[in-house]
């Protein structure tokens, strides 16, 4: 009897060892008809979630397409990516051939623009409009930064990551496509870029959308992030002009310190949006993102860029001034919304005075709070979102009063 029990235990032990070895040899589970249950392998750790939400196993160092392609296409992943460990939630691995074909060989007609760390192309990938960021393999750090954030963080006001691909010398990130492009193209000389000027109600709604996205990564994620590159070109608009924050290549985790949450880094970002304390000591905090957001609010209000050139001196030693200094100077002479003559001179002429003056004043004052020199005096994004929500409601009420003027009202709706 004892011998029989020992034999049974030995058999069970062998079975368990055989089952566990399946994962480490890179095999795929199959359904009853013998087809692979998963189309793609997800890069990084031994086990990851596939597009179906199930788990699969892969060997470290390479990934293979498992759709039954007889070419058995294999792409070598840069070692820096393979050794990195992060949690992934359903990104799809595309082949280089798919990326190349969908962008028409990276043709200029598909080029959407140049970002901080790569070029972005429009593509139709598996019957879906997407945007593809193309980076050199030298940009592994930025590639991984975006993967870390966007595989974990999902919000309607953050651009969604669909998947990625890699070749021997290039890296690719595949995002949802923002049909209306960047906010920058709609508020800085929009007519020359083939766009109509944004009406007031769209501007404040876009500000609220972007604020909610930023608040989410600051306040509501399991680990908090600081974006470090908030600007109008990194706020994208969908077909309904709803805003989504993009480009997380510079995003950083923020850790707890005695003075709150902070991350000491080398100075990166875009001049005109950088907070004073970040420039002086490289301390990236959520309040440095708030400063940059305040600059965006000033841009929405004025139609001017974060760094402006003095008019009439473009060709000969143009004087460059920050938009913050211009708007703060205007606000010094505006004690209330009833006496805002100097502020009106700074408001975007494309609005043609079609905006509620009290709401414009509130946006300007909120922006001023966001760009306070002392970060302690700046509001957090939760407070900013509350203020913007109230401004949007007041703006909607103002718009409703214009319904009797059909020409004005239809113009606002059409512009939206």
Is residue 68's pLDDT more than 60? no
Percent residues over pLDDT 90 in the chain: 50
User: How are beta strands 235-237 and 170-176 bridged, if at all?
Assistant: unpaired
Q: Domain 181-415 maps to which CATH number in 1.10.3260.10, 3.40.50.300, 1.10.1740.10, 1.10.510.10?
A: 1.10.510.10
94: number of Cβ within 10 Å: 24
pLDDT band at residue 189 using 50, 70 and 90 as cut-offs: confident
Is residue 356's pLDDT more than 80? yes
Q: Which residue has the higher pLDDT, 353 or 63?
A: 353
Across-strand partners of 132?
121, 174
In terms of Cβ atoms closer than 10 Å to its own Cβ (0-12, 13-18, 19+), residue 231 is buried
Q: Tell me the helix, strand and coil percentages in the chain, rounded to 5.
A: 40, 20, 40
Block residue for tokens 């009063």: 401
Phi and psi at residue 114, in whole multiples of 5°? -115, 120
In this structure, of 15-19, 47-51, 181-185, 227-231, the range with the lowest mean pLDDT score is 47-51
pLDDT digits (tens, 9 = 90+) for 223-264: 889 999 999 999 999 999 999 999 888 888 775 444 456 554
Average pLDDT over every residue of 334-362 = 90
pLDDT digits (tens, 9 = 90+) for 368-398: 999 999 999 999 999 999 999 999 999 999 9
- The residue extents of the domains of the chain are 39-176, 181-415
In the residue annotation, 289 being an active-site residue is answered as no
CATH class of 39-176: alpha beta
Is residue 88's pLDDT more than 60? no
Q: What is the pLDDT of residue 317?
A: 58
From residue 92, give the alpha-carbon distance in Å to each of 50, 53, 150, 166: 7, 11, 13, 12
Percent residues over pLDDT 70 in the chain: 70
Is residue 152's pLDDT more than 50? yes
Q: What is the pLDDT of residue 250?
A: 81
The two tokens of residue 155 are 């919000």
Catalytic member of 229, 247, 289, 348: 229
Is residue 144's pLDDT more than 90? no
CA 14 – CA 124 distance, rounded (Å)? 49
From residue 351, give the alpha-carbon distance in Å to each of 88, 164, 197, 202: 44, 40, 8, 11
Q: What is the pLDDT of residue 2?
A: 61
From residue 414, give the alpha-carbon distance in Å to each of 167, 192, 303: 44, 19, 19
How many helices, marked H, and strands, marked E, lie in the chain? 13, 20
Q: Is 382 annotated as a binding residue?
A: no
Average pLDDT over every residue of 301-330 = 81
Nearest to 293 by CA among 224, 230, 243: 230
From residue 250, give the alpha-carbon distance in Å to each of 112, 174, 194, 210, 346: 20, 17, 30, 17, 31
């Amino acid at each position: 009897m004892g011998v029989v029990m020992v034999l049974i235990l030995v058999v069970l032990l062998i079975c368990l060892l055989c089952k566990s070895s399946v994962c480490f040899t890179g095999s795929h589970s199959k359904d009853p008809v013998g087809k692979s249950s998963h189309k793609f392998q997800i890069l990084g750790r031994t086990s990851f979630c596939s597009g179906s939400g199930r788990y699969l196993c892969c060997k470290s160092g390479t990934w293979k397409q498992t759709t039954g392609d007889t070419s058995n296409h294999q792409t070598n992943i840069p070692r820096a990516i393979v050794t990195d460990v992060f949690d992934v939630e359903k990104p799809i691995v595309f082949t280089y051939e798919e990326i190349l074909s969908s962008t028409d060989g990276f043709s200029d007609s598909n080029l959407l623009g140049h970002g901080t760390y790569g070029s972005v192309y429009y593509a139709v990938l598996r019957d879906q409009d997407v945007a593809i960021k193309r980076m050199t393999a030298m940009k592994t750090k930025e590639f991984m930064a975006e993967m870390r954030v966007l595989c974990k963080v999902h919000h309607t006001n953050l651009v969604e990551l669909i998947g990625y691909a890699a070749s021997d010398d290039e890296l690719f990130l595949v995002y949802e496509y923002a049909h209306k492009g960047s906010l920058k193209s709609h508020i800085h000389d929009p007519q020359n870029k083939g766009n109509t000027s944004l009406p007031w109600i769209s501007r404040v709604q876009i500000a609220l959308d972007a604020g909610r996205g930023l608040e989410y990564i600051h306040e509501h994620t399991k680990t908090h992030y600081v974006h470090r590159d908030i600007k109008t070109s990194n706020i994208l608009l969908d077909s309904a002009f709803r805003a989504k924050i993009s480009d997380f290549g510079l995003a950083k985790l923020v850790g707890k310190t005695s003075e709150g949450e902070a991350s000491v880094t080398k100075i990166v970002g875009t001049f005109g949006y950088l907070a004073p304390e970040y420039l002086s000591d490289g301390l990236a905090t959520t309040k440095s993102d708030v400063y940059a957001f305040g600059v965006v609010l000033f841009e929405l209000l004025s139609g001017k860029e974060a760094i402006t050139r003095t008019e009439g001196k473009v060709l000969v030693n143009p004087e460059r001034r920050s938009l913050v200094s211009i708007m703060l100077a205007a606000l010094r002479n505006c004690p209330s919304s009833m006496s805002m003559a100097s502020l009106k001179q700074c408001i975007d002429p494309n609005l043609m005075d079609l905006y509620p003056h009290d709401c414009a004043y509130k946006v300007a004052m909120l922006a001023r709070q966001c760009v306070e020199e002392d970060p302690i005096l700046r509001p957090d994004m939760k407070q900013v979102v509350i203020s913007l929500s109230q401004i949007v409601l007041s703006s909607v009420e103002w718009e409703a009063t214009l319904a009797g003027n059909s020409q004005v009202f239809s113009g606002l709706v059409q512009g939206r």
